[in-house]
Copies of this chain bind each other. A is one copy, B any other.
Amino acid sequence: MHQILSPDTFDAACPARALLTRLADKWVMLVLLALRTGPMRNGALLRRIDGLSQKMLTQTLRGLERDGLVLRTMFDVVPPHVEYQLTEGGEEIARLVDQIDRWIRDSIAGNPAAGPAA
């Protein structure tokens, strides 16, 4: 277990680090942000996130599902209709990711030339 304010090493075997590592992925972040506006279908996510392929979307959603951050709801109709939404935990994380995103955008707005650097 790694924790701040202690001299502990960040053990690769730590379950918390494993999860953090899974979240540390660009598609994961973008999907979490996208889902903040509400439940969405596969196609909608695909259309909304530029550059995201079907393969990576499915893979990302499955991972988020396994980690309990996203809920998948299947409506048994034809043609198939599937919706994805954030769980409570997912919303918590997504909120924090959004804060990072906001900080970045504010930061860039303030320094149009470069990144966050002065």
| Given contact pairs A11-B50, A49-B10, A66-B115, A93 touches B100 in the complex (Cβ within 8 A) | yes
Q: How many residues of A contact B (CB 8 A)?
A: 56
User: Measured between C-beta atoms, what is the minimum distance from A88 to chain B in Å?
Assistant: 8
A83 contacts B by Cβ under 8 Å:
no
Q: Beta-carbon contacts of A95-116 to B below 8 Å, as 1s and 0s? A: 0111111011101100000111
Copies in the complex: 2
Q: Beta-carbon contacts of A20-33 to B below 8 Å, as 1s and 0s? A: 11011110111001
A23: chain B residues within 8 A (beta carbon): 100, 104
User: Measured between C-beta atoms, what is the minimum distance from A13 to chain B in Å?
Assistant: 8
Contact residue among B16, B21, B99 (Cβ-Cβ distance under 8 Å from A26): B21
Asked if residues A115 and B67 are in contact (CB atoms below 8 Å), the reply is yes
| Given contact pairs A20-B29, A47-B9, A107-B89, A101 touches B4 in the complex (Cβ within 8 A) | yes
| 18 A/B residue pairs, CB under 8 Å, sorted by A | A4-B36, A10-B49, A16-B104, A19-B115, A19-B116, A20-B26, A20-B29, A20-B104, A24-B26, A67-B117, A68-B114, A68-B117, A87-B116, A87-B118, A89-B107, A89-B117, A96-B96, A97-B100
